[in-house]
Amino acid sequence: MKEPYSILGLERGASEEDVKAAYKKLAKRYHPDTNKDSGAEDKFKEISVAYKSIIDGAADKYDPMNFTQTQTDIFEHFRKQSERARQRSINPHLEIEIKIEFMDACFGAEKNVRYSYMDLCDNCDSYRQKHGDYKYKKCGECNGTGRLVFQNGPMVVQTSCSQCMSSGKIIDCDICYGSFYHKKDAELNVKVPVGVETCTVLRANGRGNSSGLKGKFGDLYIHILVSEHPLYQRDKLNIFSEIEVDYVDCILGSSIMASTIHGLVNIDIPECSNGNTVVCSRGNGINKQGDHYFRLHVELPKIIDQKERKILGNLNKYKKSKNN
C-alpha cells in the first residue's frame, strides 16, 4: 500500500488546498461513472481513501505495517460519511435577488436585506451532542426494512426505500422531520457599490446555507436588479436622456438648463440642431467618470399668436426670395 500523499502525487505535508485540488483532479479522472477503464474504480477508491486519511489526519499517523487496519477503518468511515452526505445534500450556496433604485445604483447605497437560509436543525443537533448520535425511529415508508416491494401482476418489483436511503430508519425530530435542516431568518447589511448594474452579483462569504458541518456555511450570492428611471437610461458609466428644446432655440442655438443625476447643469444647444442632435455634458455620468448625453426633442408650437405668424410669414417670404 502506498503512502497517502504519494497516491495524490503530492509531497508529504502538502497544504490542505493542494490536497483538495489534487483529489478533485484525480477523482474526476478516475470516477467510475465516467471512466470505464478496468482498474479505474480501484484507483478511485484508492484516491478517496488517501484523501480521507489526509483530511482526517490519519495520514500523519501513517504506519506502513498498520495500514490495512487504518484502510478498513477509513473505508467504513468514508462509507458512513458519504451515506450521511447523501442524506444531507443541500446546496450550501444560496442565491437571492434584491431590487434597488436607479439612483442607488448610480451613487452606491447600504441596504438592509432580510432573507432565509437553511441551518442544521438545533433540535437534532443538541440530541446528537448529548447522546452521541441522532435520535432515530423506524421508517414508516418501508416499515424498517429499507426496501419497498410492489406486486405487479405476476411480477414482484423490489426497490430501495428513498425515504430512509435503505437504512430502515429516519431521524426522529418534530422540528425538521428528519431533513437535518431548519429554515432560519437572517438580516444582512449589503453595501451596494457605486455603478452596479442589473446582473451584478455580490457575494457574502459564509452567509449561505449550512454546508452540513456545524458552524460552516456556503456563500450568499446577491443578484442585483436595478429599477428603471422615468427620465434616465444608463449604459455602464454613461447616462442618457431626452430633452425638450424649443424650435427657435434649436435653430438659433442656445444655452439651457438640463437635469443630470448630479443636479441641474447648463448645456449649449448648437445652432441648427435637430432631433438627431446629441449634446454631451462631460463628467456628469456615474461617479463623475461617465458623461451625460442629451438627445434633443424639438418642441414645435401647438398654437402661434399674430406676432409670431407675422414674423414667420416674413421669414418664409425672405427664404423664398433668397432661393429664387
Binding site for Zn ion (CB under 5 A): 121, 123-124, 139, 141-142, 161, 163-164, 173, 175-176
**Minimum distance of Zn ion from residue 241's CB (angstroms):** 55
Which of residues 101 and 141 has its CB atom nearest to Zn ion in the complex? 141
**Minimum distance of Zn ion from residue 119's CB (angstroms):** 11
**Minimum distance of Zn ion from residue 159's CB (angstroms):** 11
**Minimum distance of Zn ion from residue 71's CB (angstroms):** 31
Which of residues 35 and 87 has its CB atom nearest to Zn ion in the complex? 87
Which of residues 8 and 121 has its CB atom nearest to Zn ion in the complex? 121
Cell numbers standing for residue 130 = 448529548
Which of residues 83 and 97 has its CB atom nearest to Zn ion in the complex? 83
Which of residues 149 and 201 has its CB atom nearest to Zn ion in the complex? 149
**Minimum distance of Zn ion from residue 90's CB (angstroms):** 14
Which of residues 122 and 197 has its CB atom nearest to Zn ion in the complex? 122
**Minimum distance of Zn ion from residue 123's CB (angstroms):** 4
Q: How many CB atoms lie within 10 A of CB 63?
A: 8
**Minimum distance of Zn ion from residue 58's CB (angstroms):** 30
Cell numbers standing for residue 235 = 449604459
**Minimum distance of Zn ion from residue 175's CB (angstroms):** 5
* 79 half-sphere exposure, CB direction, 13 A CA radius: 7
Which of residues 7 and 161 has its CB atom nearest to Zn ion in the complex? 161
Which of residues 123 and 200 has its CB atom nearest to Zn ion in the complex? 123
CB neighbour list of residue 174: distance below 8 Å, 6 or more residues apart: 123
Q: What is the 3-state secondary structure (H, E, C) of the chain?
A: CCCHHHHCCCCCCCCHHHHHHHHHHHHHHHCCCCCCCCCHHHHHHHHHHHHHHHHCCHHHHCCHHHHHHHHHHHHHHHHHHHHHHHHCCCCCCEEEEEEECHHHHHHCEEEEEEEEEEEECHHHHHHHHHHCCCCEEECCCCCCCCEEEEEECCEEEEEECCCCCCCCEEECCCCCCCCCEEEEEEEEEEEECCCCCCCCEEEECCCCCECCCCCCECCEEEEEEECCCCCCEEECCEEEEEEEEEHHHHHHCEEEEEEECCEEEEEEECCCCCCCCEEEECCCCHHHCCCEEEEEEEECCCCCCHHHHHHHHHHHHHHHHHHC
